[in-house]
A and B are shown apart, each in its own frame.
Chain A
Amino acid sequence: MINVKNLTKRYVNINAVDNISFNVEENETVGLLGPNGAGKTTTMRILTCFMPATAGSATVAGYDVFSDSLNVRQQIGYLPENVPLYLDMRVNEYLMFRAKLKNIPRRERKKRIDYCLDITGIKDVQNQITGTLSKGYRQRVGLADTLIHDPKILILDEPTIGLDPNQIMLIRQVIKDLGQKHTVLLSTHILPEVEMVCDRIMIIDKGKIVAMDTPANLMKQLKTGSNVVLEVKGDGEKIKNSLSGIDGVRSVTWKEKGDANEFYVEGSGEGDIREAVFKCIVKDNYILREMKRHTITLEEIFHQITTKETEEVSDNA
């Protein structure tokens, strides 16, 4: 549905988007992740025909974003980052304006507006002036607007920013449901959101794609499934030495925790080291109070990937 090839956007002295290529399949939900200023919004603005790229090409739903932009714009629903609305209009009036602009036939407009008011849960504020609505409601009005012409592709720039936890859950659920029948490209820096909503993640930093895969694969790639956290009563140094002797253990660190010690055992491979660790502890009659597998979260992946890049850059410099 979305094909991007060698896309570059250069501002005066920086490359906001630097030679990126990716595909988004039909009905797939892809999360665009990255620190502030990574190029997420720029990428989206290019795909929505708001600004052109300096180099490279992009097609959306088969139409080229540069030469066929009216067709592209008919196919996409775009929610910009700060959800700009005309603050002097009433909600249903605004949606009617947008429905007309997006070429919805006269007879279907009312039906579509009702549907969108319903799905975003803003039916009870439909007669209010948008300027009087809270941030969360404005966000939902914006979302209703992006859905109004039933676009094949939704491009959402930080759709849950500034919402309260209940609203976030609601919007996420809406996006998740929409993802069944629509192609969604959303940007965020809230990681649980991506984990919950997206089929695939694209991590972008300094205008470059640094990782792109399913959430599960990304975690596997970093080979962190075999790390174990232990809480053991006994002499810390001695235990550390015997743990280090186990086959398949790469490193052991420990610190005191109350009347016991906490160990962090890093495995070197794919295999499970928990049995060997357990045997090693009980062999010397130490008391094992807790053992848990440490699964790395997306936060850590994100942090690792984006800071690794910076280190490399500063090393080169």
Chain B
Amino acid sequence: MRNVSTIYQREIKSYFYSPIAYVVISVFLIASGFFFAGNLQFWQEASLKGSLDSIQFFLLLLTPVITMKLFAEETKSGTIETLMTSPVTDFDVVFGKFLAALSLYIVMILPTWIFVLFLTIFGNPDFGPIFSSYIGLILMGGLFVSVGLLISSFTKNQVVAAVIGIVSLIILWVVGFLSTYGEGWFYETLRYAGTFDHWESFTKGIVDTRDVIYYLSFSTLLLFITVRNVESRKWR
């Protein structure tokens, strides 16, 4: 576990040494502020419901930018060789990087609490759905980061990692909508696999264990595949 923390610390530092963290956070906050204002004006109600749906679209675009460098950069610069020949396990490396990216994600969404502050000053929001939405956002962040991390472990090109990450997340997003086109186990599976359906109940103030388990198990599966993929360098 100490190795996880060593790797975690380095990754966090490296985010803030490079412009990535600042750029991503700024873009996200500008966009989410814009959508918060727009939604508030349109719905005229003291809730985050509409804003968070739009904000989520930006998380879809920006999380792969956070995760793109995690393995791609190490592979490209060759530091993967010094890292992997140190006495650390593949799990240490993968999990440390995962936690670092997730932390940056959380740092990115934290300032949106200022919207909640506005709502309490000028209105009377229901805090239940707001809290559950943030739990949902963090769980979803875990999933998004795992997707990005896995994809970063396949390539040494950061741009490729980002683009494929964004496309994958969009597919994961829209695949749930396809379930409205038909019935039966196939469409039911699609609905379950898509993230949107699970996210929606959080915004209604429901923390359903089925949704929590969906996010946790899906993220765990992806992290497991990432560890395996990092190991697979040893089979080739």
Residues in A lying within 8 Å of B, measured CB to CB:
45, 48-52, 70-71, 73-74, 76, 78, 80, 82, 84-89, 97-98, 100-103, 145
Contact = CB atoms under 8 A, between A and B. Distances in A.
A178 to B, nearest CB: 18
A97 B89 CA distance: 16
B81 A73 contact: no
Given A52-B234, A97-B10, A88 B17 contact: yes
Interface string B144-180: 0000000000000000000000000000000000000
Contact of B78 (A51, A82, A88, A97): A82
B216 interface: no
Contacts of B80: 84
Q: Is the interface of A mostly helix, strand, loop or mixed?
A: loop
B79 A50 contact: no
Contact of B233 (A51, A70, A71, A98): A51
Given A51-B233, A82-B78, A70 B89 contact: yes
A224 to B, nearest CB: 40
- B interface majority secondary structure: helix
Contacts of A73: 85-87
A100 B88 CA distance: 11
A14 to B, nearest CB: 14
Contacts of A45: 81
Contacts of B89: 70
B14 A101 contact: no
Interface in B61-94: 77-89
Given A84-B77, A85-B79, A87-B77, A101 B85 contact: no
B217 interface: no
Contacts of B103: none
11 contacts: A48-B85, A50-B84, A51-B234, A52-B235, A70-B87, A82-B78, A84-B77, A89-B17, A97-B10, A100-B6, A101-B87
Given A51-B234, A100-B6, A101-B3, A86 B14 contact: yes
B82 A84 contact: yes
Nearest to A103: B87
A88 B85 contact: no
Given A98-B86, A101-B6, A101-B86, A50 B14 contact: no
A243 to B, nearest CB: 56
User: Which of A52, A85, A87, A100 is most buried by chain B, counting CB atoms within 10 A of its CB?
Assistant: A100
A86 B76 CA distance: 11
A73 B3 CA distance: 14
Given A73-B85, A89-B10, 7 more contacts: A50-B85, A70-B89, A84-B80, A86-B14, A87-B77, A88-B17, A89-B13
A102 B79 contact: no
Nearest to A75: B87
A86 B9 CA distance: 13
B41 interface: no
A88 B17 CA distance: 7
Nearest to A99: B6
A98 B234 CA distance: 23
Contact of B79 (A49, A76, A78, A86): A86
Contact of A145 (B7, B17, B82, B88): B82
A82 B78 CA distance: 8
Nearest to B2: A100
A188 B185 CA distance: 62
Interface string B208-236: 00000000000000000000000001111
Contacts of B17: 88-89
Nearest to B16: A88
A101 B9 CA distance: 12
